[in-house]
């Protein structure tokens, strides 16, 4: 255990560092999985936020669901609109904040990526115990929830 960490703090630091490494590996694997569909992991995430929500969203709403800034999402959305994967729609609740919607091209690309992800993740999970994966998800959700309740504050 490093100087100053509690036992839990040291293990949580290990989890955070492993999460950083895993994030990089997942982004690279995602890019490989969808490259021939004209997507990147980030673009796939935007399509997924809309597909999973099942309705058009504002750029800010997509950013909140993805955990990234509105500005980063705006750049991705602009590219996806130019390529025909997304379209802007009027927002009846806010004149200046347009809604972003999947087009049929975007839905098709997302569905193909989703089918690939299912095969990929099933293979990746071979040999893992469901209870261990569920425990990892639970810990990550708990830690993430602390950030969502107190953004920018210490836990």
List per-residue pLDDT tens for the chain, 155 residues long: 568 999 999 999 999 999 999 999 999 999 999 999 999 999 999 999 999 999 999 999 999 988 889 999 999 999 999 999 999 998 888 878 899 999 999 999 999 999 999 999 999 999 999 999 999 999 999 998 888 776 555 54
Supply the CATH classification number for the domain 7-124: 1.10.10.10
Partner residues linked to 57 by β-bridges: 100
All structural domains of the chain with their residue ranges = 7-124
Q: What is the DSSP letter of 69?
A: -
pTM to 2 decimals?
A: 0.85
């Amino acid at each position: 255990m490093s100087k100053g960490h509690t036992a839990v703090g040291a293990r949580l630091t290990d989890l955070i560092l492993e999460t950083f490494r895993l994030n990089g590996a997942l982004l690279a694997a995602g890019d490989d999985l969808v490259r021939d569909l004209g997507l990147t992991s980030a673009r796939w995430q935007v399509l997924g936020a809309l597909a999973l929500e099942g309705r058009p969203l504002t750029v800010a709403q997509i950013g909140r669901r993805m955990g990234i800034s509105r500005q980063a999402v705006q750049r991705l959305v602009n590219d996806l609109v130019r390529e025909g994967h997304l379209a802007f729609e009027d927002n009846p609740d806010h004149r200046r904040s347009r809604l972003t919607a999947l087009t049929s091209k975007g839905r098709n690309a997302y569905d193909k990526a989703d089918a690939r992800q299912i095969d990929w993740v099933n293979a990746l999970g071979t040999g893992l115990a469901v209870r261990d994966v569920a425990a990892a998800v639970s810990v990550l959700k708990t830690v993430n929830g602390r950030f969502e309740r107190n953004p920018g504050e210490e836990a």
